[in-house]
Amino acid sequence: MKPTLTLLAVLLLAPLAVMLAATNEAATKKLVTTIDCTKDYGPDAYFGYGDVRVTQSAAGKYREAGPVPESRFGYRFAIAHVGRPHLAVIRYPDDKNRCMAIMDGSSYDLSVGACTGTSKPGGNVYSVDQPISGRMLELRQVFWPRWRDFSIVFGNTKKDEPAAAASVAIYELEDLPALAVPGDPQDGSRRALGIQFEDPCGAAAELGATDRREWIERLITYARYSGQNSLSYPIVWYHGPLYPSQREPVNYIGMTSSKVDRQLIGHWTMQPEDWLTELLKRFGEEHMQFRAVLPVLRLGSLMEKMNIDLASIKAGKDTINNMTFKDQVQMGTYDWTLPYNLRNFQKLVEAGGNRSGSPTFPWAYGERSSGPDGFRGPIFNPLHPTVQDAMLGLVQEVVDRYGRYPAFKGIDFWFNASTTLWFVSLRSGYDDYTVGLFQKETGIVVPVDAKASDRFSRRYAFLTGEVKPKWVAWRCEKIADLFRRIRDVVVRSRPDLQVMIVDALKGHEHSQREGGLDINLLAKEPGIEVSAIWNFNGWVERWGKHRWLPCDPKLRELATIMGKPAEGVMRESLEYPPDGFWWDQQWRITPAFPSGVHFLQPYADALAKYDTLSLRRGGLTLDTGHAELIRPFALAYRALPARKFDTVGAATDPVAVRTLVCDGKRYLYLVNRRHQPVSVEVRLDKATGKATDLATNQETEAPARWPVALGPYQLRSFSLARELEVTGVSIVR
């Protein structure tokens, strides 16, 4: 425990509220078991594969996996009370580059991971270069076990960056007390810190939950415990709504890990219970916020109307699909999202369970897995009236159904290469309708035969030549106008609601504008926010041989989803070479985080760069392994008014300092972007100032030359008398 206490002292500089939070946790936990990873255990309690050995470094003695990616080791132990919150305290060495996956092996319940040094696992995993400390670090993972016979596994994710652990202690927790945030009056006037999901499928395979209702309650419990007060969650996913839509074909899919036999079960329905209404009611009771995420790649109403008959399009027939720079029609997104339409599932199971299907597989609505030009991009043209009507109708339905709930705060759109709300690049958008509209509205004649079979590529050549700036600007204005119309629908429902553009940040304006998205243009619009930051928690996937197979549809535990029967169930099978793990059913997909205090780097960096009014983090699963790091940040961040501050000085690196006069007082925050502690001198125009530390609500002296100490990646926030002026700031060391 000593290294952790030292780390916390350096990080937090002893804010009282955080020390009390740690004390409260310790007072309500009961030791279940301890595992000394340097000792040997029998095969009923331990397995190891791939040259696992006990070794030692300056950090201490520990067990380490071998160099090959498949190497791993794990431990088996008994849980007394299934369904109660537990805590796994894991000590591991920070003495070389490592990227390790930590899991229970059969679900998402204990899934976490850590990257040390300069490890870059690749894929969608975010990491940052971290200096090797040469010490043991500690990871504190909260989990709800779904089995009494439980396990913890440490596995490699890449070659020559081995997993390692010195010890594990498992505690049963009496409860997870909510963190009191004294600076947040919980009236919506303060900044929101929260959780974001990209993938909604695993709700009943994490947090020990087996249905949405259980998942909602445990998510609320952990969010309040860790100081987070908002959730941004997809209510429409890659193929359609997850709620009981009356205008679009529903595509509710999910998975659960069986409490009976550990099997992973996929389930689906077109008539789900309205789980979102229940969530919004509960969030309202707990003073939490919800933002509906709409990652729209497809809508069933558009899929039914799409025309991918290239010959007919070349002959002049209309299409709502994008036409590319190579005279091709976009017949799909050409990415991994294709199989996840529930209308494909039964056919995939019957075809042998290969989720990628075959080149001739009959995908729903006739979508294709690839095209002649191989161009990944949006299927549908965002400027076509049919597409815009579908988008506006969807937004209208969402706010009509859910805008009445106080916890509902608005709609978020995030952008990737297949999102319907833009063209993604200059290589798409050369159909007859769009080019005709451009000519009509700008007066620019595109000198291409309107009946030529190669007119699309010839239009591309002309429009990306001398007139390119006007073509780009026109497309950006048309996309902006679509967002204005979306915003108008949202605020008509409730004036305080907001549309957010997520994950479209400064520094990429040129490429974004070529795709039709001008964030600077949209930032000027009231009711549209483009500064919301999503720190994406990527994950490492080890699928093995992955198949979708039949299972018994009569199993009682699979019969309902939030009270209504599932229309279909299947078994997800992931097969790997035997390595000593005790159960056939395995699940080797885990997030991976920067280690130790470096977990906070993306929070500090985003706030320093963008003065963001909301911060969210997440991806596939709820991160429950870093509460002791999030809580101090939450106390300081959630006390700040949800308004843009003025930057003090010209620099925001290594420390950003900002201030705002609001609510009859002056607010001030300082955030350190570096892993080294920093001392800052804040200069005030009066020598007898007082300041209130917003994290603790305690008063402190604030002289004319006011020294403020910041730990690694630390945020500190204060309020001062309104008349006090901040005249400057300097780094002391």
Check if the beta carbon of residue 140 is closer than 8 Å to that of residue 627. Answer: yes
The CA-CA-CA angle for residues 612, 615, 620, to 5°, reads 145
Task: Count CB neighbours of 141 within 10 A.
Answer: 22
Residue-wise DSSP of 310-373: HHHHHTT---SB-BBTTS-B--S--STTTT--HHHHHHHHHTTSBTT--TT---GGG--S--TT
User: What integer pLDDT is reported at residue 18 of this predicted model?
Assistant: 38
Q: Residue 204: what pLDDT?
A: 86
List Cα–Cα distances, 378 to 180, 284, 381, 418, 732, in angstroms. 44, 36, 7, 4, 51
**CA-CA distance, 697 to 182, in Å (whole number)?**
6
Residues 151-210 have pLDDT tens digits of: 999 999 999 999 999 999 999 999 999 999 999 999 999 999 999 999 998 888 999 998
pLDDT of residue 202: 86
CA distance 660 to 643: 8
The pLDDT tens digits for 598-626 are: 999 999 999 999 999 999 999 889 999 99
Q: Is 704 helix (H, G, I), strand (E, B) or coil?
A: coil
Alpha helices in 127-235 (DSSP H): 212-226
* Per-residue pLDDT tens over the stretch 436-467: 999 999 999 999 999 999 999 999 999 999 99
Residue pLDDT, tens place only, 385-433:
999 999 999 999 999 999 999 999 999 998 889 999 999 999 999 999 9
The rounded distance, in Å, linking the Cα atoms of 692 and 618 is 32
**pLDDT exceeds cutoff 70 at 9:** no
Q: Is the pLDDT of residue 8 over 60?
A: no
pLDDT digits (tens, 9 = 90+) for 95-118: 999 999 999 999 999 999 999 999
Residue with tokens 């076509």: 384
pLDDT over threshold 70, residue 577 = yes
pLDDT tens digits, 698-716: 999 999 999 999 999 999 9
Q: Which of 673, 674, 669 is nearest to 692 (CA)?
A: 669
CA dist 646 → 288, 609, 660, 727 (Å): 28, 12, 6, 12
**Lateral strand order in the sheet of 726-731:** 705-710, 678-684, 726-731
Give the per-residue pLDDT at 124: 59
263 with 585: CB under 8 angstroms? yes
556 pLDDT tier (thresholds 50, 70, 90): low
Is pLDDT larger for residue 592 or for residue 327? 327
d(CA 527, CA 725): 31
**pLDDT of res. 353:** 76
- pLDDT on residue 203: 87
Supply the pLDDT for residue 540.
84
Residues 545, 575 contacting (CB under 8 angstroms): yes
Q: How far apart are CA 276 and CA 203, in angstroms?
A: 13
SS (H, E, C) 589-627: EEECEECHHHHHHHHHHHHHHHCCCEEEEEECCCCCCCH
535: confidence class by pLDDT, cuts 50, 70, 90:
confident
The number of beta carbons lying within 10 Å of the beta carbon of residue 317 is: 11
Question: Distance between CA atoms of 222 and 230, rounded to whole angstroms?
Answer: 12
The reply to whether omega before 43 is within 30° of 0 (cis) is: no
How many CB atoms neighbour CB 475 within 10 A?
Answer: 25
- Kindly report which listed range (137-146, 255-264, 642-651, 714-723) carries the lowest average pLDDT score: 255-264
**pLDDT band (50, 70, 90) for residue 337:** very high
Q: How far apart are the C-alpha atoms of 146 and 149, rounded to whole Å? A: 9
pLDDT confidence of residue 20? 40
Q: Which amino acid is at 7?
A: L
The answer to whether 657 touches 670, Cβ cutoff 8 Å, is yes
Q: What is the pLDDT of residues 44-103, one digit of tens each?
A: 999 999 999 999 999 999 999 999 999 999 999 999 999 999 999 999 999 999 999 999
In the chain the first and final C-alpha atoms are separated, in Å, by 29
Mean pLDDT of the chain: 92
DSSP count for the chain of H helices, then E strands: 15, 40
The token pair that represents 721 in the structure block = 């008398």
Return the SS3 of 43: coil
